[in-house]
């Protein structure tokens, strides 16, 4: 039986339970909002300072870097009130610069892949930075995850959060137009983590922003997520070729390992031998959400760890959700808790428009023009 999260937090506070992973305060402190706190996290090779912002509200603790807007730590309680960091990451900036597979990062200018790094817009062809075989992935060699963002903390009513700003100049990584991006991270009084994305451009361009948090609701470094239970409200998905580029088909999930319309464990069908799983080494696909594009965020996915009782519910206004099962974690990365990350030790649920949409007219458009404002929101609701 799932307990009311606020009841668990209140009980933990009464018992004086403290954080168990990277925590600096008691559960009692975490049950109320706290003004964001800034501290030095490290320095880049050129001496540029990288800062970390810590904020708490409603029982959720969030730590964010101005480097790539990275979520370095996200702590929530289990059914007994014990806290754990449920996102993969590093404890130093050098690893984020040199090694990270986008742990916790803001992704742009275009989340996911664009075939051969090429697209045509208004009759003009563009060549993007290629960094994934022949393809462009997550904005290219120096996407939004590899830049310093300007950070402005805020408190508004019972909410606390951060406004993050980055300007991508015309031609950066091959993309047309100067794009001004603003991303807002908000922790609500109930402990929800909300992301609001905005962007404007001075030339026609394509844009697809997302967040690349690696989730393990048992706690980072605790092992496999194959026993996590997952549901996705999607009747179709976009199959890919051997380079993980969508073929253009919107295939039915019925009768395949890609059917998560009813809750099942991540590992139940992950080794079913479906050709799409073989070439992706697991799940690394875009699910076509049944709701389509909506005016406001709607619930599309639920993830639950049966051992700890922690749950994550995701609501979005986007038409797609990329589910990646941590296939390329190979034991060479050591995380914040001192443990190595191996294949299947975390998963990603990235709300988005579809991969390679600029090259598929039948996919929802990702074109942004001058005078328009790109806006999208995703809400993460935690329970136990």
Whole-Å CA distances, 224 to 77, 220, 262: 19, 10, 21
Write down the residue that tokens 């404007």 correspond to. Answer: 200
172 is catalytic: no
Looking at residue 290, the DSSP 8-state letter turns out to be T
Question: What pLDDT score does 247 carry?
Answer: 98
Mean pLDDT within 178-192: 98
Question: What pLDDT score does 34 carry?
Answer: 75
138 is catalytic: no
Mean pLDDT within 29-51: 85
- Structural element, H or E, at residue 197: strand 193-201
- The backbone torsions φ and ψ at residue 75, rounded to the nearest 5 degrees and listed phi first, read -110, 135
Catalytic residue among 212, 228, 353, 360: 212
Which residues does 218 contact at the CB level (< 8 Å), separation at least 6?
84, 86, 225, 228, 305, 307, 308, 310
Question: What pLDDT score does 35 carry?
Answer: 87
Handedness of CA 251, 252, 255, 260 (dihedral sign): positive
- Structural element, H or E, at residue 284: strand 284-289
Tell me: pLDDT of 317 over 80: yes
60, 193 in Cβ contact below 8 A? yes
Radius of gyration of the chain measured on its C-alpha atoms: 20
The predicted model scores a pTM of 0.92
298, 315 in Cβ contact below 8 A? yes
48, 148 in Cβ contact below 8 A? yes
Tell me: pLDDT of 108 over 60: yes
pLDDT in tens, 61-96: 999 999 999 999 999 999 999 999 999 999 999 999
The number of C-alpha atoms within 13 Å of 336 and in the hemisphere containing its C-beta is 25
Tell me: pLDDT of 248 over 80: yes
Question: What pLDDT score does 5 carry?
Answer: 54
Question: What pLDDT score does 26 carry?
Answer: 38
Task: Using DSSP, state whether 381 is helix, strand or coil.
Answer: strand
Which pair of structure tokens corresponds to residue 367? Answer: 């074109």
Specify burial of residue 184 (Cβ count, 10 A radius: 0-12, 13-18, 19+): middle
pLDDT in tens, 330-370: 999 999 999 999 999 999 999 999 999 999 999 999 999 99
Query: Residue ranges of the alpha helices (H) in the chain?
Result: 5-15, 27-30, 93-98, 275-280
Catalytic residue among 147, 285, 350, 353: 350
Tell me: pLDDT of 13 over 50: no
Tell me: pLDDT of 142 over 90: yes
Tell me: pLDDT of 33 over 90: no
Question: What pLDDT score does 115 carry?
Answer: 98
Write down the residue that tokens 């817009």 correspond to. Answer: 121
Tell me: pLDDT of 300 over 80: yes
Mean pLDDT within 104-117: 98
71, 83 in Cβ contact below 8 A? no
From 345, 234, 231, 216, select the one nearest 286 (Cα to Cα): 234
Measured in whole angstroms, the distance separating CA 83 from the mean position of its chain's CA atoms is 20
Alpha-carbon torsion, ordered 241, 139, 300, 101, to 10 deg = 80
Which pair of structure tokens corresponds to residue 128? Answer: 């993007």
Tell me: pLDDT of 8 over 70: no
Whole-Å CA distances, 100 to 89, 90, 91: 8, 8, 12
Distance CA 102, CA 93 (A): 13
37, 51 in Cβ contact below 8 A? no
Question: What pLDDT score does 22 carry?
Answer: 37
ω into residue 109 within 30 of 0, thus cis? yes
């Amino acid at each position: 039986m799932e307990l009311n999260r606020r009841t668990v937090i209140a009980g933990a506070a009464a018992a004086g339970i403290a954080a168990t992973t990277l925590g600096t305060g008691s559960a009692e402190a975490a049950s109320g909002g706290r003004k964001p706190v800034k501290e030095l996290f490290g320095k880049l090779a050129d001496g540029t300072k990288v800062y970390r912002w810590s904020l708490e509200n409603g029982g959720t603790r969030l730590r964010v870097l101005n480097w790539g807007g990275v979520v370095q730590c996200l702590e929530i309680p289990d059914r007994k009130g014990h806290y754990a960091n449920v996102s993969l990451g590093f404890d130093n900036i050098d690893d984020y610069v040199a090694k990270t597979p986008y742990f916790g990062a803001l992704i742009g200018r275009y989340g996911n892949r664009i075939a051969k790094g090429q697209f045509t817009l208004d009759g003009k062809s563009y060549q993007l930075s290629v960094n994934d075989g022949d393809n462009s992935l997550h904005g290219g060699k120096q996407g939004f995850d590899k830049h310093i963002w300007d950070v402005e903390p805020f408190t508004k009513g019972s909410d606390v959060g951060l406004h993050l700003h980055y300007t991508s100049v015309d031609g950066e990584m091959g993309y047309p137009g100067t794009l001004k991006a603003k991303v807002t991270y908000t922790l609500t009084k109930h402990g929800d983590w909300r992301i609001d994305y905005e962007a404007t451009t001075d030339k026609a361009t394509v844009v697809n922003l997302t967040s690349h948090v690696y989730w393990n609701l048992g706690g980072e470094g605790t092992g496999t997520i194959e026993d996590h239970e997952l549901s996705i409200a999607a009747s179709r998905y976009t199959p890919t070729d051997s380079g993980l580029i969508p073929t253009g088909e919107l295939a039915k999930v019925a009768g395949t390992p890609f059917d998560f319309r009813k809750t099942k464990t991540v590992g139940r069908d992950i080794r079913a031998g479906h050709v799409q799983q073989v070439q992706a080494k697991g799940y690394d696909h875009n699910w076509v959400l049944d709701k389509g594009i909506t005016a406001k965020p709607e619930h599309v996915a639920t993830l639950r760890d049966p051992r700890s009782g922690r749950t994550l519910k995701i609501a979005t206004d986007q038409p797609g959700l990329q589910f990646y099962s941590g296939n390329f974690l190979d034991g060479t990365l050591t995380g914040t808790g001192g443990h190595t990350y191996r294949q299947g030790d975390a998963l990603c649920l990235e709300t988005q428009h579809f991969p390679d949409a600029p090259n598929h007219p039948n996919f929802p458009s990702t074109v942004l023009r001058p005078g328009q404002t790109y806006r999208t929101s995703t809400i993460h609701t935690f329970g136990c």
